[in-house]
A = this chain, B = another copy of it.
Amino acid sequence: MNEIPATMRQLRSLVTPEGELRLSVATVDTPRPAEREVLVRVEAAPINPSDLGLLLGMADVSQAAAGGAADEPTVTAPIAEPVLRLLAARVGDPMTVGNEGAGVVVAAGESPEAQALLGRTVGFIGGATYGEFCLASPRMCLPLPDGSDAADGASSFVNPLTALGMVETMRREGHTGLVHTAAASNLGQMLNRICRNDGVPLVNIVRRPEQADLLREQGATYVCDSSEPTFDGDLVAALRETGATLAFDAIGGGPLVSQILNAMEAAIVPDDAPYSRYGSDVHKQVYVYGALDRRPIELHRRFGFAWGVGGWLLTPFLARTPPEDLARLRQRVSDELTTTFASSYTDQISLGQALDVPTLQRYAQQATGQKFLLRPQL
């Protein structure tokens, strides 16, 4: 235990009552693991879209400004009034950030499952991975193969299990093909590799021609670009060929969800079918797992009555998954860590660099093809 310092640096995100986001690197006591916990020395943590909501509090980062002392830098940015009301519950609470990461287990509670991980390099889900050390539950740790680089395991949890969770959900709910939006993301590329390996027909929806090219270069068969005038027809054709009746949507605003449902219905109903006011009896489902577009979802109902739209998140999916299935999924991630589940990073930054204004403005963009890795030990 004597290698563990008494205090450590940790990134904090505060929303002030005046409507200001304030990011800082706090010096706090290094936590001690309880009986069923481990302490991980965090080597690498990705900045995922799912982290940015909490980290940036929907602030206007174009107006971000540096502040604080040279050895204790801060960055501030204004938050619009309507957004601030949504954040009421977090005002005044300097929150820890970072959903996942990888590193070495340097301390463990007394329970056997915690002790078993001592000394291992693990990928894990934390909630405070943007810091030098972080507590984790053994159930939320994925031991990496011996000799793994922590950077390879930094994204071994959220994206791999989300992508596998989509395919599992498809099978559990009786669908035989998938649709994915924002499909050129790191997650989308991973899903494309899984579906190719498993023979699952996948319709990739992207928003720009270069994203379509990227997926096609990676062997994707069905790619529909929503910026093309032929999009609706392209989508119906791809759905007719794949028979996909389940979509996972990261956009979550505007008309796209109902474009997908309407295209599914059009693909199901033959052109010469007799009129039915109730639509086909084939269930069409869209799960919304993100909110890249903050407008309301608009459902233009021309898709009958056999449909569903709902929220989907990794944590409740994992909670519903039997232990033997979870073990199988985790083993697959470990076995294919540097192939199917490889993530690539365009930038590696320290905790301090995360507070550098131009750097922050870059990772806040969530641009496809750009991905940041935080290295808290730098």
Contact = CB atoms under 8 A, between A and B. Distances in A.
Interface of A: 53-54, 86-87, 89-90, 93, 95, 252-253, 258, 273-278, 281, 288-289, 291, 296-302, 304-313, 315-316
A252 B300 CA distance: 10
B298 A90 contact: no
B89 A274 contact: yes
B297 A299 contact: yes
Contacts of A54: 277
A299 B281 CA distance: 24
B281 A53 contact: no
Contact of A258 (B273, B289, B296): B296
B305 A87 contact: no
B93 A274 contact: yes
19 contacts: A87-B275, A89-B275, A90-B274, A93-B275, A95-B275, A252-B301, A278-B315, A289-B305, A296-B299, A296-B300, A298-B299, A299-B309, A304-B311, A305-B311, A306-B311, A306-B313, A308-B311, A309-B309, A310-B310
Given A252-B301, A258-B296, A299-B309, 7 more contacts: A89-B275, A90-B274, A90-B275, A93-B275, A278-B313, A297-B301, A308-B309
Main secondary structure of the interface of A (DSSP, over half): loop
Tell me which of A54, A298, A309 has the highest count of chain B C-beta atoms within 10 A of its own C-beta. Answer: A309
Across chains A and B, which 4 residue pairs bring their CB atoms closest together, nearest first? A90-B275, A305-B311, A308-B310, A89-B275
Contacts of A277: 53-54
B89 A316 contact: no
B307 A296 contact: no
Nearest to A272: B89
Contacts of A296: 258, 298-301
Contacts of A274: 89-90, 93
A316 B306 contact: yes
Contacts of A297: 298-299, 301
A177 B54 CA distance: 33
A309 B306 contact: no
Nearest to A279: B311
Contacts of A93: 274-275
A280 to B, nearest CB: 11
A333 to B, nearest CB: 22
Tell me which of A86, A89, A289, A311 has the highest count of chain B C-beta atoms within 10 A of its own C-beta. Answer: A311
Contacts of A310: 307-310
B281 A316 contact: yes
Tell me which of A53, A310, A316 has the highest count of chain B C-beta atoms within 10 A of its own C-beta. Answer: A310
Contact of A311 (B86, B89, B300, B307): B307
Contacts of A316: 281, 305-306
